[in-house]
Structure 1
Amino acid sequence: SPLPPSLSIANATVTEGNSGTTQIRFEVTRSGSGSGEASADYTVNFGSANAADFGSSSAFVGRVTLVDGEWVDVITLDVLGDTDVEPDEDFTITLSNANMGTQIGTATATGTILNDDVAPAPIANVFVNELHYDNAGGDVNEAIEVAGVAGTDLSGWRIVLYNGNGGVAYAATGGSANGIALSGIIPDQNNGFGTLSFPAPGIQNGAPDGFALVDNLGRVVQFLSYEGTFTATNGPAAGLTSTDIGVAQDGDAIGTSLQLTGTGSNYEDFVWAPAQTSTNAAVNTGQSFLSPNAPGELRILDTSVVEGDAGTRNLVFTVRRAGASSLTTTVDYTINLDGSASAADLGSGAVLAGTLTFAPGVSTQQIVVPVQGETLPELNETLSVTLANAVNATIIDGEAVGTITNDDPVDLAIYTIQGLGHRSEYVGQTVVTRGIVTAVDANGYYLQDATGDGDTRTSDAVFVFTNGAPGRAVGDAVEVRGTVAEFLPGNNTTNLTITQINQSAATLVSTGNALPAATLISAGPGGVLPPSAVFEDDNFQVYDPENDAADFYESLEGMRVTIAAPLVT
């Protein structure tokens, strides 16, 4: 007698691709008798693959049927392509519930989705180290220097110059908008690190301008700017916002440049210094690189997080290691509730102490503190972290402050926001305040308390930044909601900032109001006499408007003033 029909399913594989869908095909084969129908149910069971790896038309349950005389049928599933670097993924298909008279031979087959995405090579430790773009008279010897690990081949790397007015890439004199081509192998000038300098003739003079350092795979390693920030609109940095280096040149002496100084082995370990004698293609003055084979240096950075209204958000502290890249470094940390934050402000399960381990080649680690969201209007809260007991490293900066930024607005008068200090106590705080519009600018307006607090040491006015046409008129009474910030105007390299409110919402209360009374600046009776000798003599540490002109003018930020005739010169 002929054998009864039997169904078996075979394993299958497919390479996923980068987009769209690709079919994975499982053959179901009949053996024995070829007469009559042979059918069975099938079920997909997920392993390391899951439903998100398949197209929407894929059926994870169904029935396969081989009609009379048919020996092979196919079950197909649509696999989604992606560019994720991941292991191969698998799943199974199982046959069951065959029709009467049909047996099941091999009941289960394994499907394998083969990953075809390769992890890109890590970005080399190369960074911009020195810059010269503007000097007194005609610009000469304009150049950009890079530093990095000795032996790094810069073939294929480039520096793309960007115009901050429009964010468009432009060409160096005689060059291409594709960038300044870099070349050469970085020499060993100091503990396994070195520098190479490249001419940048015609580099623009800022307010702002910048450049992107691009590696040989087209990845933007750095997007830096000077005299402000901007967003690139084309080229490799398209869509990225630049990072201002914080120092600038404005007719500096010929032969000087802006340079990174300090001790370390990564860009973040150093700080930019203003004009000093150029050291093109050499380690900068005041710069020292740390050996990968000797104990390194540890620094922890301040951080902040907006608390949210519910659930938890992470307050993340970053600890950086400079040097010792071939060693294993450990350091203990402790979370201290020594500020205004308490245990109730943290999420359940918050770990307040532990040990960080830097494996060879690792330069950063994170300390994560969960913060509990709430809707209570309150001031920003702080806590701190301290590092101790480092192995294979010296702790250079072992304390950091974490700020839990309240996002529920606190109702404060303008003069309270301004306060007595050089900087507002409420920076980063969401506030609600109100006043009369006294002047309108292109990107904001000045708002002054209608009555003030009568204290000449505080300002009763503040600038409200709207980042566009404010839609306000002098005499409007306005209630403003926004975030308190300190603005550093222009190319100001001092610490004298201007307190402002970055508006998020505003309500027009009334129009045509009388303006607040102006403050009289006068040598005569009833007036405020400004200091005449000292502008700033305490590095902005002590607020003393009677003896410090910087404090005096800060106390009048945005206010209406009347200057008596004898003082006008």
Structure 2
Amino acid sequence: MAAPRLDRPIADQTATEGRSFTLTFPANTFSDADPGQSLTYTAALSNGGALPSWLSFNSTTRTFTGTPPTNSSDVIVRLTARDPTGQTVSDEFVITTPGRPPATLAIAAGANGGADKAEGNSGTTPFTFTVTRAGDTSSAVTANFAVTGSAVTGADFQGGTLPRGTVSFAAGETTKTITVNVAGDASVEQNEAFTVTLSGATNGATITTASATGTIRNDDTATPATLAIAAGANGGADKAEGNSGTTPFTFTVTRAGDTSSAVTANFAVTGSAVTGADFQGGTLPRGTVSFAAGETTKTITVNVAGDAAVEQNEAFTVTLSGATNGATITTASATGTIRNDDTATPATLAIAAGDNGGADKAEGNSGTTPFTFTVTRAGDTSSAVTANFAVTGSAVTGADFQGGTLPRGTVSFAAGETTKTITVNVAGDAAVEQNEAFTVTLSGATNGATITTAAATGTIRNDDTATPATLAIAAGANGGADKAEGNSGTTPFTFTVTRAGDT
């Protein structure tokens, strides 16, 4: 049976006093040539004594752990591998336990631009610097700090003096933040660099990086003129349109910043809900707003045309553009709303005889003649409406009309339609008769419509003339006037008189 062997000796180790130490040696540090045999591990000092109390060994995970105390001695560890037959092999390595390094302090500008910022226009802006302690952190340490720099004065900082103070670390603390509050102002000036310097570290700490730089960024500029538009106060741009004339809608343009010179800007009205017809002059308004030197507000007036049409509220936009003399437009547009103030008049229907004698005609001698009547819808035309019609009259019968019955039916208006025609077909004949009047009457209007003129009259003019009466006499038929006289009494002779034409 072969003994285990050492394949990869463990290197010497260092465990710093007061800091956690861990060492796990690889599984292939030792090996055994005999197949199927596993190794077990023990650890002791090289002289056979037990490991120091601060150092423990887990044979299952092959791991040494512990934290050496102050003034620990170096340790020579003997690690032994044993196979199931009891054969062993060992490796020795040294764990050196140096004392803790002395505390060191280093200052740096705060992360993410913490010490490189705009100053702000008022109040204070915190600039941060991070002081990091390395090495021995077992005791409290303090250090002084002071702000200096040829580009800064006390006026640049909160309190009006160059900041100074103390940064303090409690035992175990490794980072502290120094906050320097920079005073904001509105003065245009150069960027200003300043230095925060550490000094006077206590408890044996040394300062490895004594200073860090901050930069106060100027954020002030000579303010250019700005223009902003808004709807006029007190509903100046949100009104009813009126039923006639014009209604003024107002918008206020405010100039800020530099007001020392004249400035102009263009304005134009736009909007998908409006057309030129909604405004005075019949076109979408446009023009120029002008500021003289020193002026800060101007009013744009847009005159909206009144009407009586029922419609939706209509939004429109007044937009500024093309500002002059270096002015910028910060709020370019404002919205006005034209409020509908019209109500829908209920639909009304009225019937009348057709134009140009459309319902006052000769009947004709044959076929049919169309007599027309016009039905007019007024008021609300937004929906479909129907009404019934019927022909009546004491002078007429069904025989006077096509189909042999008195006409009746329905007149129908689609949404938006305002006029419809009713056609009554009169039957022609050759009879001499009086003129015949008849009436077309509406009834049963739908969708809330009312009938204001319900009936209209048509007149069928007689176009047949009577032939003058004529008389003719002739001897009676069958020899009625050609007979023997007889020998006595009387014998009747007959003659026939015939009337023709007008009877």
Instruction: Say whether the fold is shared (TM-score over 0.5).
Output: no
TM-score (norm. length: structure 2): 0.27
What's the TM-score once normalised by structure 1's chain length? 0.24
Work out which structure has the larger RCO, using CA pairs closer than 8 Å and 6 or more positions apart in sequence: 2
Higher alpha-carbon Rg: 2
